[in-house]
Amino acid sequence: MKELIEKLSSKYELQEVTYQRNNLVFAAINKDSAIDAVTYLRDYEGYTHLVMMSCVDWIEEGKLQLLYLLNSPSQKNDIGIRVYIERENPEMVSAHHLWKSIWTYQRELREAFGINFPGSPRIEENFVVEGWDDMPHMLRDFDTHEYAEKTYFPRGNRKTNDPAEYMRAKLYPNQPVTAKQRKDDK
């Protein structure tokens, strides 16, 4: 796959090139040239099969990472193109002219991460959560535990004990303690 990376890097600026296995390589391309690179790979290098399109939320860095994973049925290897976009009002060029199946992925990403793909067919339609009015549910700052506690009625008669804390209360309640135990006391 090294030849492919060399060819690709002569046309586009590649970053974070990672050879994960001998048949899988990842590379990051900037947002403006990403669709161009994907089209080039599809038309000239034989990566005709779109495996999936995915997204990862790197909330610490304030970025969303898109992934276009392409497979070449003839060479039997994969290349993953990573694209970093801003987390605030994210938007990306639609690729629905390249594959007839990618609009579903884009529709899901719109609902799950809030990424807009202007022009993608049926982009406004919800995918799996009908009537959802909260923030995009796959973002890291959406706390599912908190949502579940707020929305549903848990059976409230469960209480657990920490063995170390319990033993302290029973066996040596008045003795000097570590900072962690002092914190747990409060």
Partner 1 sequence: MINKFLGFKPDEKLLPSKTVTPDTEIDLSSHKYQKIWLGPNHPGVTGNMAVELTVQGNTIMKAKTHVGYLHRGFEKLIERRLFVQGFPTSIRMCVAEPDTNEYLIARCTEELSGYADAVPEYANWLRMLSLEMARLAGLLRGVPGQGGTFALGIGVQWGVYLRDLILDRFEELTGARVYHMYIIPGGVRGILPDGFKERMEDNLRDIDDFIIRIKKLMFHNSVFKQRAKGLAVITPDMVDKFGIVGTNARGCGVKRDVRKDNPYLYYDKLDFDPPTATDGDVYSRTWVRWQELIQTVDLIRQIMAKMPAKGDIRAKMPNVLNWKIAKGDTYVRLESGRGEYGMYYVTDGSDKPRRINLRGPSYNHAISVLEHMLIGADVADVHAIMVSLQTCPPEIER
Partner 2 sequence: MSFNLKDILTPFTAWARVVKEPVTIKDPFTREANERYRGFHDNDVTVCIGCGSCEAICENQAIDLVPVEGIETKSGDSGLRPQVDYGRCCWCALCVDICTTDSLRLTNEYTWVDTDADNFIFTPGVTEKDWYSKEGGWRKPGAGYEFYGKERVHMEELHADERKDSFIEFVKGYSAEQAKKEADRCVACGICTATCPAHMGIPEYIKAVREDDMEEGMRILYETNPLPEICGRICTHKCEDVCSVGHNGDPLSIRWLKRYIADQIPADLNTYKDILGTGELAKNGKKVAIIGSGPAGLSAAHYLALLGYSCTIFEKLPEAGGMMRYGIPSYRLPYDQIDKDVDYILSLGVDIKYNVNVGTDITLEQLSKDFDAVYTGTGLHLGRSTRITGSEHENVYQSVDLLRDIVLGKDVPVEKKIVVIGGGNVAMDITRSMARLQMKKYGEVNVIATSLEDEDHMPADREEVVEAREEGCTIIPGYGPQEVMITDGKVTGLRVWKCLAIFDETGAFNPKFDEADERIFEGDMVIESIGQGMDLSYLSDEIKSKIEFGPRGRIVVNEDWQAKGLPWLFIGGDIIEGPDVIHGIANGHRGAQSIDKFLNEGR
How far apart CA 169 and CA 163 sit, in angstroms, is: 10
DSSP state of 180: H
Contact pick of 11, 36, 52, 86 for partner 1 (by CB under 8 A):
52
Q: State in angstroms the smallest separation of the CB of 174 from partner 1.
A: 31
Looking at the Cβ atoms of 21 and 158, the one nearer to partner 2 is 158
Helices and strands in the chain: count of H runs, count of E runs:
6, 5
Q: State in angstroms the smallest separation of the CB of 38 from partner 1.
A: 14
Query: What's the Cα-to-Cα distance from 172 to each of 150, 161, 164, 168, 178, rounded to whole Å?
Result: 38, 16, 11, 5, 13
User: Pick from partner 1, partner 2, none: which does 162 bind, CB < 5 to 8 A by kind?
Assistant: partner 2
Contact pick of 18, 39, 178, 181 for partner 1 (by CB under 8 A):
18
Q: State in angstroms the smallest separation of the CB of 58 from partner 1.
A: 8
Residue 109 structure tokens = 């990403």
Q: Does 26 bind partner 1 (CB under 8 A)?
A: yes
How far apart CA 128 and CA 159 sit, in angstroms, is: 34
Q: Closest by alpha carbon to 68, among 99, 89, 90?
A: 99
Looking at the Cβ atoms of 45 and 177, the one nearer to partner 1 is 45
Task: Tell me the backbone φ, ψ of residue 88, rounded to 5 degrees.
Answer: -85, 120
Q: Does 76 bind partner 1 (CB under 8 A)?
A: yes
User: Pick from partner 2, partner 1, none: which does 73 bind, CB < 5 to 8 A by kind?
Assistant: partner 1
Q: Are 92 and 69 in contact (CB under 8 A)?
A: no
How far apart CA 131 and CA 133 sit, in angstroms, is: 6
Q: Which stretch binds partner 1 (CB under 8 A): 1-9, 32-40, 43-51, 157-165?
A: 43-51
- Which stretches of the chain bind partner 2, using CB under 8 A? 155, 157-168, 170-172, 174-181
Summarize as ranges the residues that interact with partner 1 (CB under 8 A). 18, 20-21, 23-24, 26, 48-52, 54-57, 67, 69, 73, 76, 78, 80, 99-101, 103-105, 126-130, 137-138, 142, 144-145
